[in-house]
């Protein structure tokens, strides 16, 4: 650990510098996004036929594919991000305070990418407002897709509120050192601010965090998102109560990995060795190992349930999934990462930030692969498995692959823009690390004397 | 709402007209319904008390329905009590006297009161607007079930795999290559081998001579509990209340494909690109109003575009030809579908499955007899032929000989036996075709019964001698002998529905062998490409995939 004392100047550095590397990164991210926007425009012009998708059944295709797989993956990253940040606040995990805001921003980015995927995936995105919102009061009773849109919107609002509220403290205190060109934005963000509200905001954020933690298993990646699949009776590869915990584990794995990569990038770019410390990476890596362990355990449960004396349809689906080389690859990546995390935990000299970075990339690749495969497997081995053309064929088209680049670009742009506007590390975190902020360690609610 | 709108309903005149036409479709008095609806609105506005409203129409409602269970009953009874001077406070509670209670009354009744007039008539709701009204109104009265549910009974042992239904469907709806709303396949599993293998024991009756294959005919099942409809985020996929057809509103669908994902049967086909046949090129587009030249390309029921092939970016599937069911293609096509009409061996029986006299019901409930009727009907001589060729005192053999020797008829003892057996077996069940649409099996049965009646004018078919000749004396019971005779002739198929355990409640019933869980499709008697159909649509779709590499798949 560094002995350097974190300062306000440290967290202001991203805002007040402008480097060539930043421009190159910005250009690359923008290029990725624009390239996909052009591809999407082509898709809108020609129809979804330009994708590799098709009709399952007699048609011999896969109804959903990379778009939906990537959609649930991004939602997972987003949900995991906000859970991470909420846990830091709720459980007083002060060690991770410096990355709490990065996790919140990851949530905003992930949800934006996921929302974008909903549009990209539709045959008639122009009807989103009239058809979906116009019949919302009826469809919300039945359609898991509508529940999905509902919770994603709710979480966007929740996360943005969360982020917006905590930013008021920082902006009002650091205002003099922030660039004048964004003056109107800061003014709006700190409208009506007085120091008296700090305590209230603290409490509000605590409750928001509590809501996030409570809702995560019920409504987020432990609930509504897996229900999109698990509730359908016709696709044995998707069904089962294990999907809730499975999705939640994947969400947390992806989010922790994502936050580690982003933290690594910021630490490297702005010399934040003393802010985003090695200690944080070690801790995150352990959490990643924990959730990876859960993930592999759930996978084992799902597979055993299918292959050992399962009903015919589940057995076929489970056997096909296990036999798929991409599935084996994804599981191997997750398992090897878990082995590494275990080893570095018992022998700390095996740890390095680069290795943590590699582990994060491996997990993200594994979860994305698993997600896409999960979606496609459903169509390949349905209960009504009589068709000669089923299992069908599917391979993502160039446009679909490009969507991954585009959405990654979108999220990168979000970070690049936000980092020029507001501090991505909380002032609270700096104050806390310096020890000058008398932040009571207990929760904001005073303990009740029984 | 414009000021010159004379309508009583807040949603305006158009809405009223639509409601009125819905009332017209029911068996009840439309005028009474509209009058009641008008006064019901006055109740919500506080101009009329619930009790007064109830009293005003009590007699007429009793006359029309034989009961009066409108929600205003309580208020009415309270008022009656009040009149007797026993419960004056009840009136305050229900009669909307004073601000607080009036608001409460209005809240309670709300739009519901308006629906009282309408709802009592058992009208059916269609479309999101109506279902909205139904949700707010008293449910028990507005959602009375329609007595029509279109569906099919498909005799798989009659299917010879000629694919005529598939091509007829494709032509009727101008479907793209590979969009096989109707799909016919041959299959095999452990217990049921196909024609290719020797020793096939499935084919055991005289009647099942049409195909050596195990067939499955798969249109949309138009499920009563359709999963596709449940998951739809837009209400585009909907069940028509008036006749239970499950349809897609092409103007509302957003193309998320969740219906295709949720359907366990795989009947949905997405319109991935522009349809091969442009909207303008569809036959009959020249004069959409002319019933002879009817286009159903942009067919509308109410305001919904639900028929024929879908435009780009939305989902399509078998519709069971709603333009036919609504009489847009002429009265003679009501109760038929393109596939049913095209099927040479009459394997597909379409109709109102809730009507006991309909073809699908008859075929489902009396498969043996119905098969015999369908098969015999085309050859059976008419009653006139019997009258002009048979004379009193003729023996059965003479009579058969006399009819068979004429130019316009063929007859043998077997045919007479089957006809007589049909007559015996139809004594205990419905025989009148009724006024249902195209109840052809019972109509055909009538022809057979007429023949039997005519013949029995001259010959006693139930004499010991005749029964022996007709082979109808196998058991002591005439009914049992007749049934055995029919089963020998037509077989006794079991019936099933596809994936019954999934709980979709399909409205297609099958006769014949049910494919087991490991059944797989095999090449059938007719190849798809031989009749210009594309089986694997992916082959076509892959051509347009950007960056497609042949043979690479997840």
- Which DSSP string do the residues of A245-282 spell out, in sequence order? HHHHHHHHHHHHHHHHHHHHHHHHHHT-TTTS-HHHHH
Tokens 């007479």 sit on residue: B416
Residues of chain A in contact with residue B181, where contact means CB-CB under 8 angstroms, are: none
- The pLDDT assigned to B119 comes to 42
Tokens of B543: 């051509």
Give the integer Cα–Cα distance in Å for B382 and B384. 5
> Mean pLDDT for chain A?
92
Distance CA A16, CA B290 (A): 74
- pLDDT higher than 50, residue B124: no
Contact A59 B538 (CB under 8 A): yes
Q: CA–CA separation, B419 vs B398, rounded Å?
A: 17
Is A385 within 8 Å of B520 when comparing Cβ atoms?
Answer: yes
Q: Does a cis peptide bond (omega within 30 degrees of 0) precede residue A391?
A: yes
Distance between CA atoms of residues B467 and B314, nearest Å: 61
pTM: 0.82
pLDDT of B117 above 70: no
Asked if B422 and B486 count as a contact pair (C-beta separation under 8 A), the reply is yes
- The tens digit of pLDDT for each residue in B356-406 reads 999 999 999 999 999 999 988 888 898 988 998 888 888 899 899 989 888
The mean pLDDT of A389-408, rounded to a whole number, is 96
Q: Decide: B284 and B295 in contact? Cβ < 8 Å.
A: yes
Q: Are A411 and A403 in contact (CB under 8 A)?
A: no
Q: Decide which of B329 and A431 is more confident.
A: A431
- Determine the residue among A38, A42, A54, A60 to mutate to test chain B binding: the one whose Cβ has the most chain B Cβ atoms within 10 Å: A54
Please indicate whether residue B135 or residue B209 has the higher confidence score (pLDDT).
Answer: B209
With CB atoms and an 8 Å threshold, state whether B234 touches A135: yes
Q: Is the torsion defined by CA of B299, B304, B307, B308 positive or negative?
A: positive
Question: Cβ of B236 and A373 within 8 Å?
Answer: no
Note the pLDDT of residue B327. Answer: 84
Compute the C-alpha angle A82/A83/A88, nearest 5°: 100
Task: Assign A54 to helix, strand or coil.
Answer: coil
C-alpha distances out from residue A39 to A42, A48, A406, B415, Å:
5, 11, 10, 69
Helix pair angle (B99-119, B50-65), 10° resolution: 20
Instruction: Write out pLDDT tens, residues A312-337.
Output: 888 999 999 999 999 999 999 999 99
Q: Residue A280: its pLDDT value, please?
A: 96
pLDDT of A174 above 70:
yes
Tell me the residues of chain A between 141 and 200 that have a Cβ less than 8 Å away from chain B. 142-146, 149
DSSP B428-450: SS----TTSTT-HHHHHHHHHHH
Q: Which residues numbered 52-91 in A keep a CB inside 8 Å of some CB on B?
A: 52-64
Given CB atoms, is B175 within the 8 Å cutoff of chain A?
A: no
Q: Which residues of B touch A313 (CB under 8 A)?
A: 517
Tell whether ipTM is more than 0.90: yes
- Burial (Cβ within 10 Å: 0-12, 13-18, ≥19) of residue A399: buried
For B538, the closest of A149, A393, A399 (CB atoms) is: A393
- Residue A178 above 80 pLDDT? yes
Is residue B88 predicted with pLDDT exceeding 50?
no
Q: Would you state the pLDDT for residue A217?
A: 82
Binding-face residues of B in 205-224 toward A, CB within 8 A: 216
Handedness of CA A148, A150, A156, A162 (dihedral sign): negative
Angle at A259 between CA A255 and CA A261, to 5 degrees: 120
Q: 3-class secondary structure for A356-379?
A: HHHHHHHHHHHHHHHHHHHHHHHH
Cβ–Cβ under 8 Å, residues B405 and B524: no
Higher-confidence position of A227 and B96: A227
Of the pLDDT bands very low, low, confident and very high (cuts 50, 70, 90), residue B301 is: low
Q: Is B262 in the A-facing interface, judged by CB distances under 8 Å?
A: yes
Determine contact: B201 vs chain A, CB below 8 A. no
Tell me how far CA of residue B503 lies from CA of A226, A232, B234, in angstroms: 21, 11, 23
pLDDT tens digits for range A4-13: 889 999 999 9
Is the backbone of residue B96 left (phi > 0), alpha (psi -120 to 50) or beta? left
Going by pLDDT thresholds of 50, 70 and 90, the confidence category of residue B97 is very low
Q: Which H or E element spans position B216?
A: strand B214-218
How far apart are alpha carbons A203 and A187 in whole angstroms? Answer: 23
Chain B interface includes A133 (CB < 8 A): no
Checking if the pLDDT of B530 tops 60, the result is: yes
Residue of B nearest to A144 (CA): B231
Q: What is the mean pLDDT of residues B123-132?
A: 40
From A50, A385, A389, residue closest to B545, measured CB to CB: A50
The pLDDT, as a whole number, for residue B150 is 97
The C-alpha atoms of residue A183 and residue A83 are separated, in whole angstroms, by 31
Q: CB–CB of B285/A87 below 8 Å? A: no
What are the pLDDT digits (tens) for A211-233? Answer: 988 888 888 888 899 999 999 98
- In A, minimum Cα distance to B227 occurs at A232
Q: Report CA B253 to chain centroid distance, whole Å.
A: 24
Q: Are strands B150-155 and B508-511 parallel, antiparallel or unpaired?
A: parallel
Work out the minimum CA distance from B530 to partner chain A, whole angstroms: 17
Mind telling me how many Å the CA of B279 is from chain A's nearest CA?
A: 17
Q: Is-contact A181 A162, C-beta < 8 A?
A: no
Which of A 264-323 lie inside 8 A of B, CB atoms? Answer: 312-313
Tallying the residues shown for chain B, one arrives at 554
- Backbone CA torsion sign across A349, A354, A360, A366: negative
Residue A142 has pLDDT above 70, yes or no: yes
User: Residue A236: closest CA among chain B residues belongs to which residue?
Assistant: B264
- B252 inside 8 A of chain A by CB: yes
Q: Quick one: closest CA in A to B128, which residue? A: A135
Q: Which whole number is the average pLDDT over B444-466? A: 92
**Residue ranges of B 450-469 with Cβ closer than 8 A to chain A:** none
Which residues 281-320 in chain B show a CB within 8 A of chain A? 312-315
Chain segment B214-248, per-residue pLDDT in tens? 999 999 999 999 999 999 999 999 999 989 999 99
Q: What is the phi/psi pair of residue B7, to 5°?
A: -70, 150
Q: A402 and A39 in contact (C-beta within 8 Å)?
A: yes
Q: Taking CB atoms and an 8 Å limit, are A378 and B261 in contact across chains?
A: yes
The shortest C-alpha distance from A367 to chain B (Å) reads: 16
Contacts of B553 in chain A (CB under 8 A): 393-395
Q: Please write the tens of the pLDDT for every residue from B6-62.
A: 566 656 666 667 666 766 666 667 777 777 777 777 776 667 777 777 777 877 777
Q: Which residues contact A183 (CB under 8 A, 6 or more apart)?
A: none
- Name the nearest CA neighbour of A221 among A253, A255, A244, A254: A244
**Mean predicted confidence (pLDDT) in B395-423:** 90
Partners of B537 on chain A (C-beta within 8 Å) are 54-55, 58-61
Q: In the prediction, which pLDDT does A53 show? A: 97
Asked if pLDDT for residue B290 goes beyond 60, the answer is no
CB contact under 8 A, A48 and B255: yes
Contact B272 A395 (CB under 8 A): no
Does B181 reach chain A within 8 Å, measured CB to CB?
no
Instruction: Name the B residues in 39-58 with CB < 8 Å from any A CB.
Output: none
pLDDT in tens, A250-268: 999 999 999 999 999 999 9
Buried b (16+ CB within 10 A) or exposed e, B187-197: bbbeebbbbee
* Chain B interface disruption, residue of A143, A385, A391, most B CBs within 10 A: A143
Chain segment B244-255, per-residue pLDDT in tens:
999 999 999 999
Q: What is the mean pLDDT of chain B?
A: 80
pLDDT on residue B109: 44
Number of Cβ atoms within 10 Å of the Cβ of B89: 9
Q: What is the largest CA-CA distance in chain A?
A: 71
DSSP, res A119: H
Distance between CA atoms of residues B378 and B371, nearest Å: 12
- CA A275 – CA A13 distance, rounded (Å): 12
- Residue B433 has a pLDDT of 81
Pair A423, A12: CB distance under 8 Å: yes
User: In whole angstroms, what separates CA A27 from the centre of its chain?
Assistant: 23
Cβ partners under 8 Å of residue A27, min gap 6: none
């Amino acid at each position: 650990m560094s002995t350097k004392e974190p300062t306000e100047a440290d967290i202001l550095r991203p805002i007040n510098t402008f480097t060539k590397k930043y421009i190159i990164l910005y250009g690359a991210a923008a290029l990725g996004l624009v390239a996909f926007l052009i591809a999407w425009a082509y898709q809108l012009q020609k129809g979804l036929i330009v994708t590799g998708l098709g009709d399952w059944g007699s048609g011999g295709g896969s109804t959903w594919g990379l778009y939906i797989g990537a959609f649930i993956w991004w939602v997972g990253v987003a949900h995991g991000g906000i859970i991470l940040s909420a846990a830091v606040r709720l459980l007083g995990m002060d060690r991770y305070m410096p990355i709490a805001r990065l996790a919140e921003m990851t949530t905003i980015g992930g949800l934006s990418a996921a929302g974008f995927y909903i549009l990209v995936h539709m045959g008639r995105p122009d009807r989103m407002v009239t058809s979906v919102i116009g019949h919302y009061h009826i469809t919300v009773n039945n359609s898991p897709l509508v529940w999905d849109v509902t919770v994603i919107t709710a979480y966007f609002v929740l996360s943005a509120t969360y982020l917006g509220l905590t930013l008021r403290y920082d902006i009002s205190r650091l205002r003099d050192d922030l660039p004048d060109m964004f003056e109107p934005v800061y003014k709006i963000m700190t409208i009506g601010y007085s120091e008296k509200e700090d305590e209230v905001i603290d409490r509000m954020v605590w409750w928001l965090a509590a809501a996030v933690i409570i809702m995560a298993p019920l409504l987020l990646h432990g609930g509504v998102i897996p229900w999109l699949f698990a509730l359908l009776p016709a696709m044995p590869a998707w069904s089962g109560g294990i999907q809730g915990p499975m999705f939640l584990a994947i969400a947390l794995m992806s989010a922790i990995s994502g936050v580690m990569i982003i933290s690594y990038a910021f630490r490297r770019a702005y010399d934040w060795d003393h802010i985003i410390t090695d200690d944080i990476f070690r801790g995150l890596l352990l959490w990643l190992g924990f959730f990876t362990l859960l993930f592999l355990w759930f996978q084992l449960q799902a597979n055993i349930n299918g292959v050992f004396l399962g009903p015919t349809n589940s057995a076929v689906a489970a056997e096909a999934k296990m036999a798929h080389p991409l599935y084996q690859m994804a599981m191997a990546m997750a398992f090897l990462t878990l082995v590494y995390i275990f080893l570095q935990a018992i022998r700390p000299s095996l740890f390095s930030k680069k290795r943590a970075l590699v582990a994060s990339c491996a997990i993200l690749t594994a979860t994305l692969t698993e997600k896409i495969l999960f979606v496609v497997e459903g169509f390949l081995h349905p209960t009504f498995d009589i068709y000669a053309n089923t299992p069908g064929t599917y391979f993502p088209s160039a446009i679909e692959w490009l969507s991954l680049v585009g959405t990654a670009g979108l999220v990168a742009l979000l970070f690049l823009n936000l980092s020029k506007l507001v501090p991505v590390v909380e002032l609270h975190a700096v104050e806390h690390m310096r020890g000058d902020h008398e932040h009571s360690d207990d929760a904001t609610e005073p303990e009740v004397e029984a | 709402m414009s000021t010159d709108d004379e309508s009583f309903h807040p949603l305006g005149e158009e809405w009223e007209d639509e409601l009125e036409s819905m009332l017209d479709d029911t068996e009840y008095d439309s005028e009474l319904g509209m009058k009641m609806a008008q006064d019901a609105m006055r109740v919500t506005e506080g101009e009329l008390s619930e009790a007064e409203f109830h009293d005003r129409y009590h007699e007429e409602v009793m006359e029309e329905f034989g009961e009066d269970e409108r929600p205003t009953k309580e208020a009415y009874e309270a008022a009656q009590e009040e009149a007797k001077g026993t419960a004056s406070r009840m009136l305050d509670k229900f009669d909307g006297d004073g601000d607080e209670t009036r608001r409460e009354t209005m809240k309670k009744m709300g739009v519901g009161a308006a629906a009282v007039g309408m709802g009592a008539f058992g009208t059916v709701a269609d479309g999101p607007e109506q279902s909205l009204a139904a949700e707010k109104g008293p449910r028990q009265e507005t959602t009375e079930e329609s007595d029509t549910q279109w569906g099919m009974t498909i005799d798989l042992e009659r299917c010879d795999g000629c694919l005529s239904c598939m091509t007829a469907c494709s032509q009727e709806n101008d479907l793209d290559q590979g969009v096989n709303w109707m799909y016919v396949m041959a299959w095999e599993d452990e217990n049921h081998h196909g024609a290719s293998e020797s020793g096939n024991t499935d084919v055991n009756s005289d009647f099942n001579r049409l195909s050596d294959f195990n067939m499955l005919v798969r249109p949309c099942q138009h499920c009563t509990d359709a999963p596709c409809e449940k998951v739809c985020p837009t209400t585009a996929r909907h069940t028509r209340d008036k006749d239970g057809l499950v349809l897609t509103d092409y103007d509302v669908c957003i193309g998320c494909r969740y219906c295709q994902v949720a359907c366990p049967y795989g009947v949905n086909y997405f319109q991935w690109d522009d349809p091969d046949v442009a909207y303008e090129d569809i036959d009959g587009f020249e004069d959409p109003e002319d019933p002879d030249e009817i286009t159903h390309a942009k067919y509308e029921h109410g305001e919904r575009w639900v028929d024929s092939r879908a435009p780009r970016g939305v989902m399509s599937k078998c519709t069971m030809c709603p333009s036919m069911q609504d009489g847009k293609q002429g009265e003679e096509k009501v109760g038929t579908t393109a596939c049913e009409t095209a099927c040479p061996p009459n394997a597909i029986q379409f109709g109102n499955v809730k009507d006991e006299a309909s073809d699908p019901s008859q075929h489902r409930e009396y498969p043996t007899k119905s098969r015999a009727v369908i098969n015999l009907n085309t050859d059976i001589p008419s009653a006139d032929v019997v009258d002009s060729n048979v004379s009193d005192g003729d023996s059965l053999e003479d009579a058969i000989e006399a009819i068979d020797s004429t130019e316009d008829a063929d007859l043998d003892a077997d045919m007479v036996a089957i006809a007589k057996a049909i007559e015996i077996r139809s004594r205990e069940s419905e025989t009148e075709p009724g006024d249902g649409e195209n109840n052809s099996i019972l109509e055909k049965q009538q022809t057979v019964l007429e023949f039997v009646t005519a013949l029995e004018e001259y010959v006693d078919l139930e004499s010991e001698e005749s029964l022996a000749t007709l082979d109808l004396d196998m058991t002591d019971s005439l009914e049992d002998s007749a049934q055995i005779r029919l089963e020998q002739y037509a077989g006794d198929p079991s019936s099933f529905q596809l994936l019954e355990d999934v709980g979709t409640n399909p409205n297609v019933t099958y006769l014949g062998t049910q494919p087991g869980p490991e059944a797989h499709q095999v090449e059938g008697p007719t190849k798809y490409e031989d009749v210009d159909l594309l089986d694997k649509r992916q082959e076509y779709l892959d051509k347009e995939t950007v960056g497609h590499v042949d043979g690479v798949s997840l």
